[in-house]
Structure 1
């Protein structure tokens, strides 16, 4: 052991002699020479900095369902899947969950994002496996319902001096609109070019015919009180039953 230690000390002494001599000649290159002659005394330290991908905002932030990620847009490594009974699965690799889906009819959707900092929320993203077909059907039904609620308004102009044949034709149109559940604004006025001006009773008769037609449609009503004067400009605001006559009959 002593012989080995003596040999090591001798080698180290010789290395220092050569090193000092080289430093005197190299001057500012002493650092480079140190790594050449004394590698055991030079320790190279490498520091790696890991940057984790942004996980987005926490569950407490205002995010709509459309903004929440699904399938490959889910960048979290682990997720919890909500079962049909409401229970949450153990944290599972996202890739494993996606690999187990029937991608033709199933999709993984994030329901809640994990909390950030001291905010409230789950530790892992809470997801749900949804049936694409049921999802599309629900969206179509919702859109259909919205179209039904968007009640259209029709406008119908009648001349005070309209003849009986034309009046019958226009009132038939009015009935059709009301049966569809539409709103109709009937405007009675004096049109230019009509030489004969009807009497007060004749004008009142036109108003009565309009209201009689409305009364023939189940569920139809005046949505507002009529506005204006007879033999001037008069507006009647009529409204058919919500959803049309067929839906009105089914409700009763």
Structure 2
């Protein structure tokens, strides 16, 4: 008969029972929470950056500058030689610039690497300011300086066989333009599909009639000129001639 000590040694090891709930003596469920160190990269779902918001380049802006340039490596135009400098990263170029004064503008995206240039904001502002001022001066020139003859001249087309009545009627608008300080071009030519051309005497007579009709409002600024088969008389306002003489 085996000794009690051997029986205890041969008995199977005691099973470790799970923890029990004090209230219902049931096994406590495992917490479903993830590991405190989740995996950021998996083989089934590759990680990628979220898409960038729409920028000026994506929206088709005509001028693409600074962070809106969709390229990592670019080449700059040398301001002194107008040649191309060695390629550089866009981020490095932007970090080296005084962003309050300068910017980087994309010039040629088709080049490899894309070509950019340094943009001086102060100079660009001054150029745009000067351009706007000149446009305003041109717009005001006919009204403020009636003798300057600014703007496009008014053209009046006549034939050498024009009647006195038609001549007076067609030159009426020309006289109004001269009074407003604008130049008037009177273009004279033969009628279409006419075999007999006006001789020199007829032409001189018509020119004298035109000068008489426009007398007091304008006068010839130069000798009659030939342009594409037409004789062109360039009349300038009388006020302009008086101001030039003074």
With structure 2 as the length reference, what TM-score do the two structures score? 0.39
Larger Rg: 2
Structure with greater helix share of residues: 1
With structure 1 as the length reference, what TM-score do the two structures score? 0.38
